[in-house]
Amino acid sequence: MPLHLSDLLARPDLRLSVTYDVPPHLLARTVEAATVSDLLSPGKWLQGGELLMTIGLLLPMEPAACRAYVRDVAEGGAACLALGLGQGLPYQEAPEPLVTAAEEAGLPLLTVPDEVPFIAVTKAVFDARATEQRAALHRAFATQRRLTAAAAGDGLRPMLAEWTAATGVGAAVLDPLGRLLAAGEREPRTPLAQARDLLDRVAAHGLRGSASSTAGGQQLEVQPLGARRLRGLLLLTGRPDDAARSVVPGLVSLLSLELERRHLRDEPERRRRSALLSELLAEEHPAPGRARDMLHSVGLTTERVRGVVVEAASGDGSRTRATGAGSGPAAPEPADGSTAESAESAESAAQEMAADLALAMPGGLVRVVGGTPGGTTNGTASGTTHDIPAGAPDRTPGGPSSPVVEAVVGEDLDIQDVLARFAPGRPAGIGPVTAPEAVRVSLRQAAGLLAVSRASGEPAEARQSQASRLLLDLGDRRTLQGYADTVLSPLDLADHGEELLATLAAWLETGGAWDATSRRLGVHRHTVRNRLDKAMDLTGRRLDDPDDRFDLWLATRIRRGGTPSPGPAGRPTSATPPPTPPER
């Protein structure tokens, strides 16, 4: 237990006394150390929590000077001030100006009698602190033993329950996407939504850091879990004392070991899902019922799915840098790295990425394709297969042996978020949403987008693969800007030109829907019509002419930097220009 000022006053051997009626909350102050100083300004030499003792050799007696002295001591962080009394010392009782100044400042003022030397008070303080530290060490050892015993049980919850019972600090383990795996109590003390930003921040750094904050009056702390890859997150709710704080590294190690064991136990299931995906893709035209039943058997129950292809390693065979799931950038291959070593490194990176993606895709099917020179087949932890199917991606520049990760996921999964977390910076293609029996086609389109993704530096979606999309992504910016200026310059020069441009862009992106444009802009539909009529008069274009309409759409998109404007719910609208003329 911490040493409080009241504990020292209760010791009969010290015979300390208060000089005024000190409030209980001041007597509850923690004493961290004891020191002696007769300086007139000792505050700058204090660290906080000290019992400052003085004989008052230079103590001023003027009220204003006494107040300045006491204020300096209080601002230095002292827990209290003690005045030594006795024969041959400056004071035989506490002087009234000092007592008044201490009471005004809220600083406890004690007296030390003549028969008690300052060294006795100092030894008492440090003996009490040493006893406190020994007790904290014993509590830490006892807690660690309880956690180790719980680790021999089954799962995460016994360890978390023991931790909470021993320390009073809430604990929960979540997967890298922030989904709850286990908690030490029935309900986490802090709703996970309040800790979401903190969890995301730590997950984004992999194993390289922790973070803390406060939410709802509770202190929150997040620690990463895992050995070489991020396997989960530990959320602590509450303020651990010194004993509990010393056990946190042990708790992190035990939980990390359990998550690694769980990862190894899941290997057969990952192999089964990989084999199931190979079986699904082996048939050119699987029956709808059969394809749906195969996906339902692994929990993928959405009516529509999509294919995803990720290039797992660079062309030189270096390991992928999975910032969100890994522990940092991997070292490059040696300068004289052989083909076998390069292939092994690339396939290892693919396996790790596949395991991460399998964890992040509920019900999803994941496999690694390619990776072994000569095309021989050998099983791996992630279910790697080397029978490259029809429509497999062109792996240039990595060559035919460069592995890719293929996945089939539900249409409701935020695949962009998953790729940003577990495959940052890696070329990725995202196929269109299809029925389960047509997922082979979706994967083929996803594979074809890898080259676009390499050029753009971000995942490419099938809906963004039109010629206009490629022009916006890959075209020369000066040429594109000149094109936009040629089409839209009449509006730039007109009165209220910005309103006309915004109305034109919104109308084009809503597919020529007058009511939708009106709602988006917050104006009447007649206002929309009048603005567009004026814009067409200025540009000399016609909205019912397909060529004019496409020119206007492309020009407005270039002005927006190639990205659609936010829709009513804050989501981008479709990148495809409206294909049919409007109804006037």
Q: What is the per-residue pLDDT for 379?
A: 36
List, by residue range, all CATH 1.10.10.2840 domains of the chain: 475-559
Amino acid sitting at position 477 = R
Q: Does the pLDDT of residue 487 top 50, yes or no?
A: yes
If one compares 354 and 72, the residue with the highest pLDDT of the two is 72
Of 45-59, 126-140, 228-242, 551-565, the range with the lowest mean pLDDT is 551-565
User: 277 with 387: CB under 8 angstroms?
Assistant: no
Q: What is the per-residue pLDDT for 562?
A: 52
Dihedral angle of Cα 356, 360, 361, 365, to the nearest 10 degrees: 20
If one compares 83 and 375, the residue with the highest pLDDT of the two is 83
Tell me the CATH number of domain 153-265, given options 3.40.50.300, 3.40.640.10, 3.30.450.40, 3.40.50.1100.
3.30.450.40
Q: Does the pLDDT of residue 205 top 60, yes or no?
A: yes
If one compares 198 and 330, the residue with the highest pLDDT of the two is 198
Query: Looking at domain 475-559, which CATH architecture does it have?
Result: Orthogonal Bundle (1.10)
CA–CA dist 228, 202 (Å, integer): 16
If one compares 356 and 386, the residue with the highest pLDDT of the two is 356
Q: What is the per-residue pLDDT for 548?
A: 83
Structure tokens belonging to residue 175: 């997967």
User: Which tens digits make up the pLDDT trace of 308-329?
Assistant: 999 876 544 333 344 445 444 3
Of 74-83, 332-341, 534-543, the range with the lowest mean pLDDT is 332-341
List, by residue range, all CATH 3.30.450.40 domains of the chain: 153-265
User: 233 with 202: CB under 8 angstroms?
Assistant: yes
Q: Does the pLDDT of residue 513 top 80, yes or no?
A: yes
User: Which tens digits make up the pLDDT trace of 405-449?
Assistant: 999 998 888 888 888 888 888 899 998 888 888 888 888 888 888
Please, which pLDDT band fits residue 85 given cuts at 50, 70 and 90?
very high
Of 8-17, 202-211, 349-358, the range with the lowest mean pLDDT is 349-358
Q: In the chain, what's the furthest Cα-to-Cα distance? A: 109
The 3 state secondary structure assigned to 244-311 is HHHHHHHHHHHHHHHHHHHHHHCHHHHHHHHHHHHHHHHCCCCCHHHHHHHHHCCCCCCCCEEEEEEE
State CA 345 to chain mean position distance.
Answer: 28
Please, which pLDDT band fits residue 200 given cuts at 50, 70 and 90?
confident
Please, which pLDDT band fits residue 221 given cuts at 50, 70 and 90?
very high
What whole-number percentage of the chain has pLDDT above 90?
Answer: 31
Please, which pLDDT band fits residue 556 given cuts at 50, 70 and 90?
confident
**pTM given for the model:** 0.58
User: Which tens digits make up the pLDDT trace of 448-463?
Assistant: 888 888 888 889 887 6
Q: 76, exposed or middle or buried, with CB in 10 Å at 0-12, 13-18, 19+?
A: middle
Q: What is the per-residue pLDDT for 101?
A: 94
Amino acid sitting at position 194 = Q
Q: What is the per-residue pLDDT for 338?
A: 53
User: Which tens digits make up the pLDDT trace of 97-155?
Assistant: 999 999 999 999 999 999 999 999 999 999 998 988 898 889 889 888 998 888 887 78
Tell me the CATH number of domain 5-116, given options 1.10.760.10, 3.40.50.300, 3.40.640.10, 3.40.1390.20.
3.40.1390.20
Q: What does pLDDT average to over the chain?
A: 80
Could you identify the residue written with the tokens 């000149």?
A: 482
List, by residue range, all CATH 3.40.1390.20 domains of the chain: 5-116
If one compares 338 and 395, the residue with the highest pLDDT of the two is 338
User: Which tens digits make up the pLDDT trace of 268-297?
Assistant: 888 888 888 888 888 777 788 888 888 888
State CA 44 to chain mean position distance.
Answer: 40
Measured distance between the N- and C-terminal CA atoms of the chain, rounded to whole angstroms = 81
Q: What is the per-residue pLDDT for 378?
A: 34
Cis peptide before 60 (omega within 30 of 0): no
